[in-house]
Amino acid sequence: MSDRPRDVDVAGAAARLVEVAAEGEPVEVILVVRGTLRPIDGSAGTRWRMRLDGDHVLTFRAEWVVATRPVGRRSSDTNGDPNGNPTGDSGGDSSGEPNGRSG
């Protein structure tokens, strides 16, 4: 797992959660979770277990997953630095704009 620092406003996030919870209405919560995955035995791939660190495990349904991406791959496996951050030499468009679009 990566121990690199994250820029998170914990107090601000907690305040938003308290506010939304007080309303009592259904909400969608989008989380970013890092760990190792394995399917739950007997679930046919519909339920998953993620080991977050030595003491924490998260279980979830496959239908809840919006996106995944590998993290912490070796630099020889990616076009990025050892942490998986792009270095700009991916061979793609060099406009600097998302999806290669400019103006």
Instruction: State the residue range of the domain holding 17.
Output: 10-85
Residue 48 burial by Cβ neighbours in a 10 Å radius (0-12, 13-18, 19+): middle
Torsion sign, CA atoms 48, 52, 57, 61 = negative
Q: For residue 37, is pLDDT > 60? A: yes
Find out whether 47 and 53 touch, Cβ atoms under 8 Å. no
By DSSP bridging, strand 47-51 and strand 57-61 are antiparallel
Is 3 within the bounds of a domain?
no
Is 80 within the bounds of a domain?
yes
Is 20 within the bounds of a domain?
yes
Q: What is the pTM of this model?
A: 0.56
Is 26 within the bounds of a domain?
yes
Find out whether 62 and 48 touch, Cβ atoms under 8 Å. yes
Is 21 within the bounds of a domain?
yes
**What secondary structure letter does DSSP report for 88?**
S
Find out whether 34 and 52 touch, Cβ atoms under 8 Å. yes
Report the pLDDT averaged over residues 47-75: 88
Is 95 within the bounds of a domain?
no
Is 93 within the bounds of a domain?
no
Is 97 within the bounds of a domain?
no
Residue 60 burial by Cβ neighbours in a 10 Å radius (0-12, 13-18, 19+): middle
Q: For residue 54, is pLDDT > 50? A: yes
Give the tokens for residue 56.
């924490």
Return the percentage of the chain with pLDDT > 90, whole number.
Answer: 53
Q: For residue 49, is pLDDT > 80? A: yes
* Residue that wins the pLDDT comparison between 30 and 77: 30
Domain count within the chain:
1
Per-residue pLDDT at 88: 53
Per-residue pLDDT at 42: 97
